[in-house]
Amino acid sequence: MTFSLLVPLLLPFLAAPLARRLAEQLAPRTAALLLAATATTLAAASTTVLALAVGGGLLRLPLVLALGHLSPHWLPDTPLRAAAAGLALTATAALAVRTARHQLADLRRARSSVGHAPADLGLTVLQDDRADAFALPGGPRHPGRVVVTTGMLRALDGPERAALLAHERAHLAGRHHLFLAAAEYAAALHPALRQLRAPLGYHLERWADENAARTTGDRATTARAVGRAALAAARAPRPDRPRLAPAAHTGPVPRRVAALLAPAPRPRPSRGRTTATLALAACLALTTAATLDATTDLHHTVEAAQSSATH
């Protein structure tokens, strides 16, 4: 069981760089899906095996032995492993809770700044000379909307405004805030997954860029809108935009503009991409298999301990 517990804890240090490298060779939408799926899978597996290690240690407590009708002779005697796993699980749980609190506070602050401003066709225009525009995620009582300030609208011409709004609407339609939230939680649950947050944010922006370019039919105008929006927003940043609210003027803007000025991406097969795909698939498969093996092993151990206690 020790090997099965270690694999999901160690493989993220190899799988995360592989996912980053592979994402650079894929279309933006595919890259974002890959990074989010990788982060979620690895975080879930590492958290599960920590919980299993803690559970295995708790089984030897007298109260648990009595309530579960367990024989201690069949149970693993690994108090140090259980204690270490307990500390790690407590730390990651605390980070995850803090992440959730920060995300909720950010969203409440952003929704408060918007207030009861009308949202005609999912668009809210704020009277603010500071340039800003972002996709504000919706909730049970708050529909998603694009928020843009009058300062941003003045900074762009008509076609550029259309491209900017198409970009933000693409974020809402793709529910990109869920991708960002998943990356934040994954980073809290395993330190190796922190390196996936920035590339995921970049590929989400590129995904929205390409959607906006298709909607407007003009890649050059979309590139110009992204660049001018970033310059305008940099002059007087607004503090109310939450981290889960994607915005066209964030991220590595020069790189995004260069990509928009180039032809639409068409991924081509390559030996390097195939190798990275196979290596990442092997890491994810091994991680999943090890997690299932650790779960099954603990289940069989409990069954054996119960059977021994009844005889």
The domain segmentation of the chain, as residue ranges, is: 2-309
Which residue in the block uniquely carries the two structure tokens 């003045």? 154
Residues 6+ apart with CB under 8 A from 101: none
Q: pLDDT tens string for the chain (311 positions)?
A: 678 889 999 999 999 999 999 999 999 999 999 999 999 999 999 999 999 998 877 677 677 666 666 666 666 767 788 889 999 999 999 999 999 999 888 888 877 777 666 656 688 898 989 999 999 888 767 778 899 999 999 999 999 999 999 999 999 999 999 999 999 999 999 999 999 999 999 999 999 999 999 999 999 999 999 999 999 988 877 766 667 777 777 789 999 999 999 988 777 777 788 899 999 999 999 999 999 999 988 777 766 666 665 65
| HSE value, Cβ hemisphere, 13 Å, CA-based, for 95 | 17
**Cβ pair 110, 245 in contact under 8 A:** yes
**Cβ pair 211, 179 in contact under 8 A:** no
